[in-house]
Structure 1
């Protein structure tokens, strides 16, 4: 079983509230979302594993069991072309849970006209594969969001 923890501080809001049909419809997988605190912060790895995909606005870490977890920093933030994001690791790096991956500012994302909401998704999983799904309440970096059976 894999425990997926929050990559940042904020409020759990659940995927259904994400203003993007790909995420709200769980088309890439089930999970939850975080409405982040506005101050600049580091988005951290939600699991131990290898960074298999890395963009300024999103990253995927695959754990030793082969589970891929996507963290997407804001909605439509690909349009920012990396402005306001700083990569702290490289694709292919082995990372530990809680290790900083991307430095960013949710407030800057919001000021650009985009939503700062951050989906945290279990890629290619079925909804019934997740347990303890956190969809409301305040979360700190490192708090459990869900377990993947």
Structure 2
């Protein structure tokens, strides 16, 4: 069983509320989303594992059970070409839950005309594989978002 914890502070809103049909339709995978606090912050790893994909706006960590968790920092933020994002780890690094991965500013993303909402998605999973998905309420790094069997 994989426990996935929140990578940043904010309010859980659920994938259906993400302003992007690919995420809101769970085409990438099931999970939830966080509307982040509008201040400079650091996105942390939601699981212990290996960073298998790393971009300024998104990262994937795969745990020992082979479960990949995507953290996507904002919507359409790839169009910002990395501006305002600082990578704190490298692809291939082993990270611990709660370890800082990317420093960014959700308020600056919003000022650039993008949504700062952050999907946290279980890759290559089915919705029924996830348990107790948090879709509302305030969350902070380390709070459980969902479990994955």
* TM-score, scaled relative to structure 2: 1.00
Q: Aligned partners of 1:131, 1:65: CA distance in 2, in Å?
A: 16
* Structure 1 position 129, deviation (Å): 0.2
Q: Aligned partners of 1:69, 1:140: CA distance in 2, in Å?
A: 17
Q: Aligned partners of 1:22, 1:123: CA distance in 2, in Å?
A: 13
Q: Aligned partners of 1:140, 1:57: CA distance in 2, in Å?
A: 19
* Structure 1 position 14, deviation (Å): 0.2
Q: Aligned partners of 1:3, 1:125: CA distance in 2, in Å?
A: 14
The residue number in structure 2 matching 1:101 is: 101
Unmatched tracts of structure 2, length 5 or more = none
The residue number in structure 2 matching 1:57 is: 57
* Structure 1 position 56, deviation (Å): 0.1
Task: State the number of aligned residues.
Answer: 149
Output aligned runs, 1:1-149, within 5 Å. 1-149=1-149
Q: CA RMSD in A?
A: 0.3
Secondary structure of 1:23's partner? helix
Unmatched tracts of structure 1, length 5 or more = none
Q: Which runs of 4+ in 1 moved over 4 A?
A: none
Per-residue CA deviation, residues 82-109 of structure 1 (Å, 9 max, x unaligned), is: 0000000000000000000000000000
